[in-house]
Amino acid sequence: MTTTTSTTTTMRAISQDTFGGPEVLKEVELPRPEPGPSQVLVRVRAAGVNPTDWKHRAAPLFLGEPPYVLGWDVSGVVEAVGMGVTLFRPGDEVFGMLPYPYGAGSHAEYVTGPARAFARKPPAIDHVQAGALPLAALTAWQALVDTARVEAGQRVLIHAAAGGVGHLAVQIAKARGAYVIGTASAGKHAFLRDLGADEVIDYRETDFAEAVSGVDVVLDTIGDDDYRARSLRTLRRGGLLVSILPAGGRELAERAQRFGVRTELLLVEADHAGMNAIARLAEEGRLRAAIAGTFPLADAARAHELGDTGRTAGKLVLTVE
């Protein structure tokens, strides 16, 4: 049995038929999905655009061959609930991350997903802010809290600290009471200090491996072999490097062992408990996404063009009227 508030049968979505640049994205009309057991149908109000979106647009990764609709971040209003759902009712405002990687589809007017992939949207933030948070904030939360178990007083080094994941990781680490060191270009240092970073290193001018030592946790958001190798040298004995780009694990682990440190490779997961924790931090004003730009759904290609530059600080968000 499905409980619903609408009789709409179609929706607008951003799809692609081939791999390529932003120009392959096009607005199409598709059947509106229906929620299955334990699922909710969400009318999308805002949806973040992440590096994984433009990477999947450009080349085959997890999703196989197009056509498909991208997007994992979503904030919106529950339109219908499937059989067995008790957490939400039609009309509830929710935000969350669709199951990564195979649950993509939020760059559309409607999307379905497991009820427990969502949490209630905090009243203190709007849909744009809520739509920017889930994938990047969950990645940071699962790396720093679930995996590294960061505690007050620990030293945490965050690479690309002004990026989508990085700037949220800075705030989460500070909320845990950590001393936070970030790497970023000089123009982003003031931004990071405003977020609470205790120390910021210009990676273009300074070798962070020479400037930093005694670190408990390194968060690698870059995946570059040289960065990883140098990061191991910054860790105290028994320290941990968590990389959110899970490749090259065996060689990295062997190298870490020689330094007496550990490594973990993380792929973000849909996470009801994590979303609730993120909602609490957002409601308390301790976690906020910097919005690098907002675009109407029809202008998704423009968001991808900006993302392709690799120079954005914060998050890009699509809005749906």
Q: Does residue 86 register a pLDDT over 70?
A: yes
Distance (Å, whole) CA 85 – CA 221: 35
Does residue 1 surpass a pLDDT of 60? Answer: no
Q: What is the DSSP letter of 288?
A: -
Q: What is the CATH number of the domain that holds 49?
A: 3.90.180.10
Asked if 255 and 299 sit in the same domain, the reply is no
Give tens-digit pLDDT for 181-214: 999 999 999 999 999 999 999 999 999 999 999 9
155 pLDDT tier (thresholds 50, 70, 90): very high
One domain for residues 80 and 19: yes
Q: Is the pLDDT of residue 293 over 90?
A: yes
Residue 226 within any structural domain of the chain = yes
Mean pLDDT of 277-296: 98
* Per-residue pLDDT tens over the stretch 110-129: 999 999 999 999 999 999 99
Cβ–Cβ < 8 Å for 277, 296: no
Number of compact structural domains in the chain: 2
Separation between Cα atoms, residue 299 and residue 121, nearest integer Å? 25
Residue 259 lies in a domain: yes
Confidence class for position 90, pLDDT limits 50, 70, 90:
very high
Mean pLDDT of the chain: 96
> Is the domain of 55 the same as that of 114?
yes
Please name the residue that has the structure tokens 């997903």. Answer: 113
Same domain for 254 and 170: yes
Among candidate residues 224, 249, 265, the one where a domain is terminated = 265
Compute the radius of gyration of the chain from its Cα atoms. 20
Task: Name, in order, each residue with C-beta under 8 angstroms of 106's C-beta and a sequence gap of 6 or more.
Answer: 44, 47, 69, 71, 72, 73, 74, 98
Q: Is residue 272 part of a domain?
A: no
Could you tell me if 71 and 150 lie in one domain? no
pTM: 0.96
Strands 26-31 and 10-16: antiparallel
Domain co-membership, 24 together with 112: yes
Question: Sorting pLDDT into bands at 50, 70 and 90, what band is 311?
Answer: confident
Q: What is the mean pLDDT of residues 43-69?
A: 97
Give the whole-angstrom CA distance, residue 168 versus residue 112: 26
Based on the domain organization, do 12 and 124 belong to the same domain?
yes
Q: How far apart are CA 4 and CA 90, in angstroms?
A: 6
User: What CATH number has the domain bearing residue 250?
Assistant: 3.40.50.720
**167 and 79, same structural domain?**
no
In terms of domains, do 36 and 76 share one?
A: yes
Domain limits for position 218: 136-265
Task: State whether 99 and 219 are in the same domain.
Answer: no
Residue type, 60: P
pLDDT of residue 312: 84
Query: 2 pLDDT exceeds 80?
Result: no
Q: Is residue 128 domain-shared with residue 41, that is, in the same domain?
A: yes
